[in-house]
Amino acid sequence: MLSKNIEAALNKQIRIEAESSQTYLSMACWAEVSGLEGISQFMYAQSDEERAHMLKLIKYVNERGGHAQITDLKAPKTSYTTFKEMFEALYEHEIFVSNSINELVHITFSEKDYATHNFLQWYVSEQIEEEATAKTILDKINLIGDDKGGLYLFDRDIQQITVTSSVAINPK
């Protein structure tokens, strides 16, 4: 059974994940109408992934005797000056989500809700990967600079970007 405090904190995270999905969906739309098909497909996939994160939280809250709340969402930004600006916003957003997850983990630990603490470890690992991916993308964008050929190749190749996070490495 969830405490009211943890239930409220999880519901706050549900909203954050929903807003993340909407933010990335908006980014996908901007990229698509800007002729950046690869980037738009990447962002559509990110949006779907964030929605899956939200649904996982919803199911958990409801299964643990709480009531997941679906609330209104803050409208996301709809346009960007450059694709670099968009990916900088994505990176900043992932840091914000990581901080929110960390705060949630802290609450569960302080309330000795070890089941929820354990459940949230997946999100902790996921955020390490999300931040690493966003940082890798920004590094590649900085290498490209203003080179239009580089942008073309980046847009084509972004769907194949994979980052092996430190949490995914198994020491031998």
| Residue numbers belonging to the annotated binding site for Fe cation | 17, 50, 53, 94, 127
Amino acid present at 103: E
Binding residues: 17, 50, 53, 94, 127
Kindly report the three-state secondary structure assignment for every residue of 92-126. Answer: HHHHHHHHHHHHHHHHHHHCCCHHHHHHHHHHHHH
129: exposed, middle or buried (Cβ count in 10 Å: 0-12, 13-18, 19+): middle
Please tell me the distance from the alpha carbon of residue 34 to that of residue 32, in angstroms, as a whole number. 5
Please tell me the distance from the alpha carbon of residue 14 to that of residue 103, in angstroms, as a whole number. 14
Q: Which tokens belong to 59? A: 């199911």
